[in-house]
């Protein structure tokens, strides 16, 4: 094992932070609307997370997919909008980290990060709606993921597969990035059911299957995101134990959301979901501290987790 000596701090939910600061935001375009109408606001949000202590920021192309902007617009503008998301994140990262940021190690296992370096994760999102394994379309994935990868490649340090609902969806992502040498982080979303005997992917596939797949494709990290932070904690406790039993070098991490539970019939762009007010920065950081004790070395936030949460994570962890 070669775990990071200190946790790497990710950013939080860019889409909901755009909404909070008054950037253009609505369904179905979600966070893609700001790219189209006010890209300077996207840069501003990236910088706010960096100034809060994020050492890795994620490109804002999560909603630049046919499901959110429509097939016709994706075919026409998807590549240019995705490239814009990459450039904005790169520019924000290259503007420098805040003085309060104290990175310890890079996403790779050998290089050292200085306070001048902020890493950019290239978002490889679900193409047919978050949380819905039944909507996954292999033919859409085979066309769209290579386009997204090509548009982001000049700007990113890490490939960040986000909110994957199934092994099949994650396999399509892994295939699209297999030609290069940038690290791959696989982030699966889990069923929002803390009462389950063991957490599982939205597809019903097991945590063991997720670990096996991550090892098969030589992913650098396995994470859980965009689900209840309580479930993230449960999953990290299980996967930490499984990883240690295998004795493999696989980083673990999580970035939960503050949504109310999203069921099997949830539609990613049907409404703007309610946020849980009780998930304060202090409450979230306390849960993240438990993740750290389970072996998580990559910790951040998803929808509803703002710069104030990230600042608390950076302070505590």
Would you write out the chain's pLDDT as a tens digit for each of its 317 residues? 334 568 999 999 999 999 999 999 999 999 999 999 999 999 999 999 999 999 999 999 999 999 999 999 999 999 999 999 999 999 999 996 444 443 333 444 333 333 559 999 999 999 988 999 999 999 999 999 999 999 999 999 999 999 999 999 999 999 999 999 999 999 999 999 999 999 999 999 999 999 999 999 999 999 999 999 999 999 999 999 999 999 999 999 999 999 777 555 666 555 566 777 789 999 999 999 999 999 999 999 999 999 999 999 999 99
Residue 285 lies in a domain: yes
Distance CA 41, CA 27 (A): 18
Counted domains in the chain? 1
| Entry field: residues in the chain | 317
Phi-psi region at 207: left, alpha or beta (left = phi > 0; alpha = psi -120 to 50):
alpha
Q: At what angle do helices 71-94 and 138-152 cross, to 10 degrees?
A: 30
The domain that holds 295 is classified in CATH as 3.20.20.330
In a domain, 1, yes or no: no
Position 243 in a domain:
yes
Which candidate, 104, 34, 22, 38, places its Cα nearest to that of 62? 34
- CA–CA distance, 225 with 203 (Å, rounded to integer): 15
Instruction: Confirm if 18 and 45 have CB atoms less than 8 A apart.
Output: yes
**Lookup: tokens for 109:** 């296992």
3-class state of residue 275 by DSSP = strand
In the block, tokens 């609505």 appear at 26
What is the domain extent for residue 53? Answer: 8-316
Structural domain includes residue 3: no
Strands of the chain (E only): list them. 8-9, 56-58, 119-124, 158-164, 184-188, 221-225, 251-256, 298-301
Does some domain include residue 2?
no
Question: How far is 290 from 132, CA to CA, in rounded Å?
Answer: 28
Q: pTM for the whole thing?
A: 0.90
């Amino acid at each position: 094992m070669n775990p990071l000596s200190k946790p790497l701090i990710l950013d939080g939910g860019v889409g909901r932070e755009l909404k909070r600061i008054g950037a253009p935001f609505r369904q179905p375009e979600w966070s893609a609307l700001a790219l189209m109408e006010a890209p300077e606001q996207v840069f501003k949000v990236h910088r706010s997370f960096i100034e809060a202590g994020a050492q890795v920021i994620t490109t804002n192309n999560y909603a630049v997919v046919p499901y959110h902007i429509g097939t016709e617009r994706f075919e026409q503008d998807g590549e240019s909008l995705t490239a814009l998301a990459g450039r904005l994140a790169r520019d924000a990262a290259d503007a420098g980290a805040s003085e309060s940021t104290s990175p310890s190690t890079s996403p790779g296992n050998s290089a050292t990060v200085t306070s001048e370096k902020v890493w950019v994760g290239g978002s490889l999102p679900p193409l047919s709606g978050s949380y819905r394994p039944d909507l996954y379309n292999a033919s859409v994935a085979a066309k769209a993921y290579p386009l997204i990868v090509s548009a982001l490649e000049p700007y990113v340090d890490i490939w960040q597969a986000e909110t994957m609902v199934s092994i099949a969806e994650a396999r399509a992502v892994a295939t699209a990035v297999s030609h290069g040498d940038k690290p791959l982080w696989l982030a699966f979303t889990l069923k929002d059911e803390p009462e389950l005997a063991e957490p599982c992917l939205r597809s019903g596939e097991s945590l063991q299957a997720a670990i096996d797949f991550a090892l098969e494709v030589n992913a650098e990290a396995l994470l859980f995101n965009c689900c209840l932070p309580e479930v993230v904690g449960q999953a990290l406790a299980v996967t930490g134990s499984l990883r240690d039993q295998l004795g493999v070098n696989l980083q673990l991490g999580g970035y939960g959301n503050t949504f109310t539970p999203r069921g099997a019939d949830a539609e990613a762009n049907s409404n703007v979901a309610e946020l849980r007010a009780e998930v304060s920065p202090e409450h979230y950081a306390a849960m993240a501290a438990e993740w750290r004790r389970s072996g998580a070395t990559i910790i951040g936030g998803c929808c509803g987790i703002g710069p104030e949460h990230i600042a608390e994570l950076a302070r505590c962890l």
